[in-house]
Amino acid sequence: MSRRRGFTALLAAGAVALTGCTSGTVADTRSGGEEGLPTADLVFSSVEPDDLTGLAEEALPDDYAVPVEADYPVIPNAGALNERLAEALDQRIDNFTAVTPSAKGFESDWEITAAANGIVGVRIAWTEQGAEGEHTGSETHWYDAETGRAAYSTELLAGQEQLEALNDLVLAQSEGEEAADGALQPVLGLYDSMAFNDDGDLVVEFDAEQLAPENEDRTGAVIESADAAPLLSDLGTRAQAASQEAVEGFTLDEAVDGGGENLPVPGRMEDWTESVDCTRADTKCVALTFDDGPGARTPELLDTLAEYDAPATFFQTGRTIDRYPETVRRAYAEGHEIGNHTIDHPDLTTLDEAGVREELAPVNEQIRRETGSVPVLMRPPYGATNDTVAEVSAALGLAQILWNVDTEDWKDRDAEIVAQRAIDGAEPGAIILMHDIHGTTVDAVPSILEELTEQGYTFATVSQMLGETEPGELYYSRGRPTLPPESGPDA
Ligand code: NI
């Protein structure tokens, strides 16, 4: 006998279980506070695992730095999905242990949110246990038997514009802090768990504390079926229909093409930002870089960059990402590149290999947590690097980005002087060093953009300007012999 189940009754009864399978820790679904996005209506459609023929359960090996109980379903003929789930859990655990020094344990459980029309949706709910308590969250992945591909939740939507439109709809439902501080951004890191309810409404859920530290429970939004429909991709439309179907004895045919194709993923900005071709002789590219932030005035800087349609690169530290995570998401969502500038800004050449790794690896994971993407660039504090720094950077997939124009904005807190140094130093291929933690630098940027635009420069992120970079390699600028930078004490 097939049975589809909503969780409304369970929620009303105050139950905390949100699970389609046997045991384990699952998402906490208590109602949230008075303000902000709701929690109580965040109910996905659900399918009994028994109604998927041959479904089995596997667990990741318990060989992480902390005890792990991470189960995931294995669905016959959905190889790409099964692999994706194992990989997503593995990444999640690595992320948790890297960003949480007090990590104690990790548990996860799963449920099937839809299984019909050659479509399967699987929601993974996890609990991270640390010294300061538990933190819950979830992600939902999809499978399309027509292509054999596993899909992220944002692929339910037709593209980046539709994700931006959805973000606006969610924003309209938000009355609390999320709206005020720009925490809601159309990035994969936020929109990683979406599915439909029994009525075909699109349900979006955000992890506890993801939008605001005071959100101890998950938050999210329910977008009416009719409002969601115009935003959906073909996969999304079929998933919406599948979510409303009764399921019994579901099976999948073997995929025809094995799902090898990589498609652009909404919310993963490198897939959507416009490419800048700095190799053309008639294109004068320059890369503005801002270190040590985000800072209190970085949002103002982002407004200015948006006004001039000027992408930039931000090398951010772990401490400041912790303080202004919403600014990291916003910068990324607006097409800027986020690079790794260590947790605590030490001189990395004074550290051994383990020390360098401890400074860099967690920041990669912090950036992935906020944006959904791992950075490919790092900048060593003070420009200080050596073979050990190069080796660890290479192992972490990070090219080392220095600069050939130093505005010395940390020393001269004078917007006119800073602007003049940037303008005087600009040349095709230049990487210009600034710091967005200084108000005088934020004040200098409008005239830099104005003047360099007038001189015919194209602004590019470092990766747009350099093209594909080699992890571990040092870069000072584009298309010029490498020059050692004049290291300042506050680079
Ligand atoms: Ni710095």
pLDDT of residue 209: 84
Confidence of residue 27 (pLDDT cuts 50, 70, 90): very low
- Please check the confidence at residue 26 and state whether its pLDDT lies above 70: no
Query: DSSP letters of 174-216?
Result: --SHHHHTT---S-TTTS--EEE-TTS-EEEEE-TTTS-TT--
Strands 149-152 and 430-435, how do they pair? Answer: unpaired
pLDDT, tens only, 210-222: 887 777 788 899 9
The dihedral formed by the CA atoms of 331, 337, 341 and 343, expressed in degrees to the nearest 10 = 50
At residue 3, the pLDDT reads 32
Distance CA 88, CA 110 (A): 12
pLDDT for the residue numbered 126:
96
Instruction: Write out the E strands in 344-485.
Output: 377-378, 399-401, 405-406, 430-435, 457-459, 474-475
Average pLDDT over residues 323-343: 96
Give the pLDDT of residue 25.
31
179 confidence band (pLDDT: 50, 70, 90): low
Looking at residues 431-449, what average pLDDT do you find?
Answer: 98
pLDDT tens per residue across span 391-426? 999 999 999 999 999 999 999 999 999 999 999 999
Report whether pLDDT(485) > 80.
no
Count H helices and E strands in the chain, helices first: 14, 20
Residue 14: burial class (beta carbons within 10 Å; 0-12, 13-18, 19+): exposed
Contact 104, 131 (CB under 8 A): yes
The whole-angstrom separation of Cα 125 and Cα 386 is: 42
Radius of gyration of the chain (CA): 23
CA 276 vs CA 169, 280, 403: distances in Å:
31, 10, 20
175: left (phi over 0), alpha (psi -120 to 50) or beta: alpha
Mean pLDDT of the chain: 88
pLDDT at 72 over 90: yes
CB 389 within 8 A of CB 348: yes
Determine the distance separating the centroid of ligand 1 and the alpha carbon of 416, expressed in angstroms: 21
What's the pLDDT tens digit per position in 121-169? 999 999 999 998 899 999 999 999 988 999 999 999 999 999 999 999 9
**Per-residue model confidence (pLDDT) at position 8:** 28
- Hey, which residues are catalytic here? 291, 435
- Contact (CB, 8 A) for 419 and 441: no
- Quick one: what percent of the chain has pLDDT higher than 90? 75
Q: 410 alpha carbon to ligand 1 midpoint, in Å?
A: 10
pLDDT higher for 76 or 488?
Answer: 76
Distance (angstroms) between ligand 1 centre and the Cα of 436 equals 10
Q: Residue 202 and residue 39: Cα distance in Å, rounded?
A: 14
The neighbouring-strand residues paired with 311 are none
User: 441 CA distance to ligand 1 centroid (A)?
Assistant: 14
Both structure tokens of 189: 């890191």
Q: Which pLDDT value is given to residue 29?
A: 38
Cα–ligand 1 centroid distance for 400 (angstroms) = 13
What pLDDT score was predicted for residue 272?
74
- Residue 448 pLDDT exceeds 60: yes
> What's the CA gap between 460 and 429, in Å, rounded?
10
State residue 263's pLDDT score. 83
Grade residue 269 by pLDDT with cuts at 50, 70 and 90: confident
pLDDT at 230 > cutoff 90: yes
Identify the band that residue 315 occupies on the pLDDT scale cut at 50, 70 and 90.
Answer: very high
303's enclosing H/E stretch is: helix 298-307
Res 352 pLDDT > 90: yes
Supply the pLDDT for residue 73.
97
Q: HSE on the CB side for 50, CA within 13 Å? A: 6
User: Is the four-CA dihedral 449, 455, 456, 461 of positive or negative sign?
Assistant: negative
| Residue 309 DSSP code | T
pLDDT at position 34, please? 44
pLDDT score recorded for residue 436: 98
Closest by CA position to 158, among listed 229, 244, 95? 229
For residue 23, the one-letter residue type is S
- In sequence order, the 6+-apart residues with CB closer than 8 A to the CB of 454 are none
Residue 17 has a pLDDT of 30
Give the pLDDT band (50/70/90) at residue 277. Answer: confident
Distance 413 CA to ligand 1 centre (A): 16
Residue 237 has pLDDT above 60, yes or no: yes
Checking if the pLDDT of 257 tops 90, the result is no
Number of CB atoms found within 10 A of residue 95's CB: 18
Check residue 213 and give its pLDDT.
76
Percent of the chain with pLDDT over 70: 87
Give 432 Cα–ligand 1 centroid separation in angstroms. Answer: 13
Is pLDDT at 323 greater than 80 in this prediction? yes
What DSSP line would sit under 251-283, residue for residue? --PPPSSTT------TT-GGGTSPP--TTSTT-
31 vs 80, more confident: 80
Instruction: Please tell me the least confidently modeled range out of 181-190, 355-364, 457-466.
Output: 181-190
Q: What is the pLDDT of residue 158?
A: 97
Spacing, Cα 364 to ligand 1 middle (Å):
16
Average pLDDT over residues 96-113: 94
